[in-house]
Structure 1
Amino acid sequence: MSKFLVLYTSDASLEEQMQQSSDGGATEMQEWMAWGEKTGSALLDFGAPVHNARHVGSAGVQAPGAKVTGYSFVEAADADAAAALFADHPHLQIGDIEILETVNMSPG
């Protein structure tokens, strides 16, 4: 089994997403919780929303081009199996999902 870092991206910031919700995000939270229950033990870490990102590069510090609004960690047999876990994820209503396989750096 491989471990995957999942990044949730959106053109709308986390704050903008919360303002767009008519019930303060309660419906969205219920949808996320239902997805988490369906995903079961493959969901290693539900993660959390993130905001106030900065891009650090050779030109200095600036606001990032892509808006990462959250993260999770999942475990799956391969990248296709990991992607299948997100086929009907509620975040797809407002943004995209990036799935990155982590590399085990432990010796041996």
Structure 2
Amino acid sequence: MPRFLAVYTMKPEDFARFRSLPKSEQDAIDAVGVKEWAAWEERNAAAILDRGGMVGKTTRITKDGVTDAANPFCGYLVIEAETAKAAALLFRDHPHITVFPGDGVDIMPFVT
């Protein structure tokens, strides 16, 4: 079955807005979101090959050297599905976009 990389994205300004909330509000959102995230993973366990994880700040390496960089990536996982659309539909109710301030999930097929 085809494998796909699912990359969680979040705009820096949305993350900053979330972190500017009072700690009690952040904790309340986290309490709901973590529970719903675990339920989502349980519902979709058969499709998840690698639970991946959340990621932090980016360091970019180019022919010119090493620098700090910015991108919207904040986490990933690896799934399998019949098609890219089927893979994408797994995320339509994901708490990354329904509870947390994530703006999307990018789905990319592995080609090698």
- Per the normalisation by structure 2, the TM-score is 0.76
Work out the CA distance in 2 between the residues paired with 1:38 and 1:53.
31
Q: SS of 1:97's equivalent? A: strand
**Count of aligned pairs:** 103
Answer whether contact 2:50 2:77 (CA < 8 A) is retained.
yes
Q: Once superposed, what is the RMSD of the aligned Cα atoms?
A: 2.4
Calculate percent identity across the aligned residue pairs. Answer: 33
Paired with 1:84 and 1:69, the residues of 2 have a C-alpha distance of 20
User: Following the alignment from structure 1 to structure 2, what is the Cα–Cα distance between the partners of residues 55 and 61?
Assistant: 6
- Which structure 2 residue ranges, 5 or more long, are not aligned? none
Letter of the structure 2 residue corresponding to residue 54 of structure 1: T
Task: Tell me what 1:38 maps to.
Answer: 43
Q: Provide the secondary structure at the position in 2 that maps to 1:23.
A: helix
Partner secondary structure for residue 76 of structure 2: strand
Query: Within 5 A, what are the aligned runs for 1:22-101?
Result: 22-23=27-28, 25-93=30-98, 94=101, 95-101=103-109
Tell me the CA shift for residue 17 of structure 1.
8.0
Partner secondary structure for residue 54 of structure 1: strand
4+ runs deviating over 4 angstroms: 15-18
